[in-house]
Amino acid sequence: MGQLDRISTPDDVRRLTSRQADDLAAEIRTFLVDQVSRTGGHLGPNLGVVELTIAMHRVFESPLDTLVFDTGHQAYVHKLLTGRRDFSQLRSKGGLSGYPSRAESEHDVVENSHASTALSWADGIAKANELQGRGDRHVVAVIGDGALTGGMAWEALNNIAAGQDRRLVIVVNDNGRSYAPTIGGLAHHLDTLRTTQGYENVLSWGKRTLRRSGAPGRATYEALHGMKKGIKDVLAPQGMFEDLGIKYVGPVDGHDVRAVEKALRNAKAFGGPVIVHVITEKGRGYVPAEQDVADRFHAVGKIHPETGLPVAPSRFEWTSVFADELVRIGRRRPDVVAVTAAMLQPVGLAPFAAEFPARVFDVGIAEQHAATSAAGMAFGGLHPVVAVYATFLNRAFDQVLMDVALHKAGVTFVLDRAGLTGSDGASHNGMWDMAMLAVVPGLRLAAPRDEETLRDALRTAVDVDDAPTVVRYPKGALVDPVPAIDHLDGVDVLARHDGPADAQHVLVVGYGAMAPTALETADILAAHGLRVTVVDPRWVMPVSAALTKLVGDHDHVVTIEDGVVDGGLGSLVAQRAREAGIGTPVHAVGIPRAFLDHATREQLVTELRLSAGDIARDTLAALGRPS
């Protein structure tokens, strides 16, 4: 038996000798590469925190002590050390979540995988411990240097510093990256700390030199004190943290279990807030990840473990189309600039950055700042394109509303991974944007259905200079072209099915990723003797007069969308119809107002009755016809 086979609880980890802990680290790396290469998942981040996580569980006693992981994609090792060994269905329905999950274990606390939140959670838990008289426990928050670029982390630090008696340990997992190399002033500061580990060596040399000089004790003390302050200011400028009132420990080699244990034990004994600065290497121990400069191993699909190459090459993706079209636009529009929140590669801005490096702004994990900074750029005569995952725009809603829309700023938001994304679970489904943005005055939103309509939507969006525009598209491979057979004042007609003159006439509205489903639904309805028209509004918001008129020309309307149904397109269409005195019933089909467990997109579509067959059956039932 190896060491990993003997681990079922953190108590087992604490019983290991130091040598056995090192053996465990090696076994965990082998396990992760083997398992994640079969299922896909976040490989690089977890390989980087193996020793750190082992040390945490050797020093602290979860769940008595609360461990909080910021952006919990680095919690696979934590899962293993708390008894979760079956990774065969990782991120699949019925299997382990790719993030911490309270449903899985009492050792998991924070499920939200949005970054920069862990310190606020830790602050709140520490305050609760203090007020409830739980002085026998600690709160430990693990946050990456990338997540420290988020403003919320600094709001939390400001408050944590006020609680000098609260037992709170902040582990800064510093690997110089989030999805991409960490940027900004904080990154430069941590770089300085990273490269000044000789501070203690220099100080020791100074002590030996002074003692050999034979100086009197008091003089020696004063000289040492002055030397320590001077060297510290020059070589280890951790004052940024300590000036906040938070003790700083480090930097520590994050791949040395003994060194990390020692630092954590010192922090634990301090009795107040402490920052432990740990240096790690993302992808540690897996050669393809260590040698990769594009961070392809942050999250992977199924790969060949020997080479790191994908098992099945991916098809041309929506993101690639956006990337290509933005470069084309950039060549003819020098005022167009791009903004990313620490995700240059994932959102497709790398080609634009390669051709126009001065026109790309990576603001770190700071979506709020991205939106308001973009409003400022628009005021200054630029047209910013803010590219972000749809789920992460949630964090900047106030800025979209009050800084961009209120000021009629020409800013384009491009939302990647909109709709159901599946395997990353509740916090990553991009299903909230439509309902959320529907209340923003003046905002225009497009949901292209294929490559041609995506390119057209982006070109149209950047031409709008007096209001926010949004272009949303799904995760994954492009669908085949979905041509229109007719155009009605901005509404594309995708299909018409004639039937008996006395047959009920149904309008099926499908946009974006759901356009093919709308066509399939129409085929089924037509096979049951109905007359059916299928349309795609392309620009979903605001609801056009042409679409409202079409509602009045039909007997029944079905809207199909991959966003939250409450407040989505169906709700807007029904409202506009009522305002126009149109009584046609509107059957809105979409995602319920709920948090969805991790599963494939196809499984979620089936569960939510968003397949063409289910939609057609429900429509026939509403019309009183047998299915």
Distance between CA atoms of residues 114 and 72, nearest Å: 8
Tell me, yes or no, if 395 is annotated catalytic.
yes
Determine the 3-state secondary structure of 238 from DSSP. Answer: coil
Q: State the DSSP string of 348-405.
A: T-HHHHHH-GGGEEE--S-HHHHHHHHHHHHHTT-EEEEEEEHHHHGGGHHHIIIIII
Distance between CA atoms of residues 486 and 62, nearest Å: 62
Distance between CA atoms of residues 499 and 528, nearest Å: 10
Q: State the DSSP string of 319-362.
A: HHHHHHHHHHHHHH-TTEEEEESS-TTTTT-HHHHHH-GGGEEE
In sequence order, what E strands does 14-116 have?
66-69
491 backbone dihedrals φ, ψ, rounded to 5°: -105, 125
Give the residue ranges of DSSP H helices in 82-184.
118-131, 151-160
| Annotated catalytic residue within 282, 455, 472, 576 | 282
Closest CA to 319 of 342, 366, 351: 351
Distance between CA atoms of residues 295 and 307, nearest Å: 15
- The sign of the CA dihedral 91, 291, 249, 188 is negative
Residues flagged as binding site for thiamine diphosphate: 73, 113-115, 146-147, 175, 286, 367
511 backbone dihedrals φ, ψ, rounded to 5°: -130, 160
| Annotated catalytic residue within 51, 261, 325, 367 | 367
Residues flagged as binding site: 73, 113-115, 145-147, 175, 286, 367
Distance between CA atoms of residues 149 and 279, nearest Å: 17
| Annotated catalytic residue within 84, 247, 395, 455 | 395
Distance between CA atoms of residues 380 and 136, nearest Å: 55
The tokens for 559 are 């809207």
In sequence order, what E strands does 511-585 have?
531-536, 539-541, 556-564
CA atoms within 13 A on the CB side of 602: 2
Residues flagged as binding site for Mg(2+): 145, 175
Cβ neighbour number for residue 439 with a 10 Å cutoff: 11
The C-alpha angle 234, 237, 240, rounded to 5 degrees, equals 150
Q: Residue 312 contacts by C-beta under 8 Å, 6 or more apart in sequence?
A: 301, 302
Q: What residues does 477 pair with on adjacent strands?
A: 317
Cβ neighbour number for residue 250 with a 10 Å cutoff: 25
Q: Residue 3 contacts by C-beta under 8 Å, 6 or more apart in sequence?
A: 16, 20, 21, 23, 24, 27
Tell me, yes or no, if 282 is annotated catalytic.
yes
- The sign of the CA dihedral 332, 337, 343, 347 is negative
In sequence order, what E strands does 132-226 have?
139-144, 168-174
Task: Report how far Cα 477 is from the mean position of its chain's Cα atoms.
Answer: 19
> Which sequence positions are flagged as catalytic?
282, 367, 395
